[in-house]
Amino acid sequence: MQTFERIHPVEFQRRFLAQETRHDGRAFSQFRPTHIVKGTISTAQGSATVRIGNTTVVCGIKAEVCEPDVKTPDEGYLVTNVELSPMCSARFRAGAPSEEAQVASEHIHRLFTKHVVNLSSLCIESGRAAWVLAADIVCLKYDGNILDAAVVALLAALDDLRLPAAEFDSASGAVSADKTKASGLALRRRLFPATFSLVDDAYLVADADDAEEQMVSASVLVILDDNGSVANIWKRGAGAMSRQTIESCVERAGKRKEVLARLLQ
Amino acid sequence: MSANIIDRRRINGPQRSVEPLYTAEAPEPFANGRVDSRALDQVRPIFIKTGSLATQTSAAASPSGSAYYEQGKIRISCAIYGPRQGRKSNTRMGVFDCDFKYAPFSCSWKKTHIKSPDEKEIALILEQAVAPAIRLEAYPKASIDAFVTVIESDGKAATISAAVNCISAALVDAGIELYDSVAACSMALNGSQWVSDCTQIEEDAASCSLLVARMPSADEVTYVLQHGKTAPEQTDQGIQTCINSCTRVYAVICRYLQASME
């Protein structure tokens, strides 16, 4: 069986998909078991570890202070980066971030800075000092669906974040912070992701793992917010997906949202 | 978050950012000068899980061997790829290459994404500490690559020794031929006392740090690194105490490796 999987991975997967099941025994619309643990890294101000099946992702948020941008004197910064290294899978190379990592970083950055974190809440002193949140999402083990895991990890880490009470001293220009008086960040809204992929141009599966991702022609990431409204739909790949398919994905994302909302409690 | 360099492949923050001045009180040290309830020669509790990166679903994309290592608050993950085709095709002996990096959130000091000279130095230290244990003559024209990522660090010398232990466990998991496992331990000099396995707070207060990597069954020391000023007799005494600690760490590593075989 293992030899067959190595020599003909595509045929191996097809044998399962033709029987309306997947190689790990899941149904097409079934997501892998998800675990979220907050506060795992003590050197970071906010952190979370998320496991979706075998995909394990750690998000750590470190807070520093800086001068805000001249154009936005009342806003701080949120800097998000996704790291995919050879440590998590043989598919990635050492060195500069791959295209996949860059694309993931950019997408998550745009989602979270505009719609989740209120950058004005990071201001310490208008025009003089503001917080910079450096959120790094490091993949520890890669088994497909990095985007879902990264979004959930960042959300959980932001929930876990405790910013020390900061005071700006205009005489010295320094910021002092008291860790004993730390408070959380009020988020604008929370985002709940769900990824659906078109495997082998024929089967629509939820939460494709690494083996299935090798045969994916198109995938759609649906992100809902707390009210169940669509915050983001991102369809990738050149494979064709009908409108009904995408609508059914949005509907199924609603069910996934309930599961994630409960886990993030 | 970057220092005057714009990293075009990452999301960049503002050009300059610093840590605020924290006004927290230092924790009250224990009677023997430590910040936790350990004895002076006691190493932090160790946890090892080998095969942590082996996924059942995609065997082709998994590393040959892997290990996840915890020592107190230190958390390190290591993946071993190999033996695979080396860069030079005419080498008589195999090549052991190590890539080390701190995750940006893992350090109590400021850490950028770009590899610092510190990380490159530690990668060389790890290569030199572990390579003597590998039977490289059994792998001509091949290279064995280790990728180490520190998820959380607590004491620089302690993290390096933890990385050595982690690589040792991962090499066994990968089935690479070894003469022996390498066990490493670190110490710091507080006043005139050698204190074993210091946390970051203890290391910052110490005047000298020492790291020893050893193959206990072969009774060979593979690496010694000392930072700071000491008298020769003090260094001798430190190395001897460290060697004893290495033997104890080795026993723990072996117990975990045996348990993982069952």
A174 contacts in chain B (CB < 8 Å):
20-21
Structure token pair of residue B22: 């924290």
Question: Which of A148, B82, A91, A12 shows the shortest CA–CA distance to A3?
Answer: A12
**DSSP at A148:** H
A210 contacts in chain B (CB < 8 Å):
55, 57-58, 61
Do the beta carbons of residue A248 and residue A205 sit within 8 Å?
A: no
Confidence class of residue B175 from pLDDT cuts 50, 70 and 90? very high
Total residues found in chain A within this entry: 265
User: What confidence tens digit (pLDDT) does each residue in B206-216 have?
Assistant: 999 999 999 99
Euclidean distance between CA atoms A97 and B31, whole angstroms: 48
Distance of CA B39 to the CA centre of its chain: 22
B14 and A66 in contact by Cβ < 8 A?
A: yes
Predicted confidence at residue B57, as pLDDT, reads: 64
Structure token pair of residue A171: 């005489």
User: What confidence tens digit (pLDDT) does each residue in B181-190 have?
Assistant: 999 999 999 8
Question: Which of A102, A83, A209, A240 shows the shortest CA–CA distance to A220?
Answer: A240
Measure CB to CB from residue A178 to each of B12, B13, B23 and give the nearest one.
B23
A43 and B16 in contact by Cβ < 8 A?
A: no
From B91's Cα to the closest Cα of chain A, the distance in A is: 23
- Which parts of chain A register pLDDT below 50? none
Predicted confidence at residue A54, as pLDDT, reads: 92
Angle at Cα B153 formed by Cα B64 and Cα B117, nearest 5°? Answer: 80
User: What confidence tens digit (pLDDT) does each residue in B75-85 have?
Assistant: 999 999 989 99
A109 contacts in chain B (CB < 8 Å):
11
Cα atoms in the Cβ-side hemisphere of radius 13 Å centred on A64: 21
CB interface of B with A, residues 128-147, below 8 Å: 145, 147
Do the beta carbons of residue B160 and residue B211 sit within 8 Å?
A: yes
Torsion angle defined by CA atoms of residues A110, A111, A116 and A120, in that order, rounded to the nearest 10 degrees: 10
Measure CB to CB from residue B9 to each of A23, A64, A97 and give the nearest one.
A97
Do the beta carbons of residue B100 and residue B117 sit within 8 Å?
A: no
User: What confidence tens digit (pLDDT) does each residue in A182-200 have?
Assistant: 899 999 999 999 999 999 8
Q: Is B45 helix (H, G, I), strand (E, B) or coil?
A: coil
User: What confidence tens digit (pLDDT) does each residue in B125-137 have?
Assistant: 999 999 999 999 9
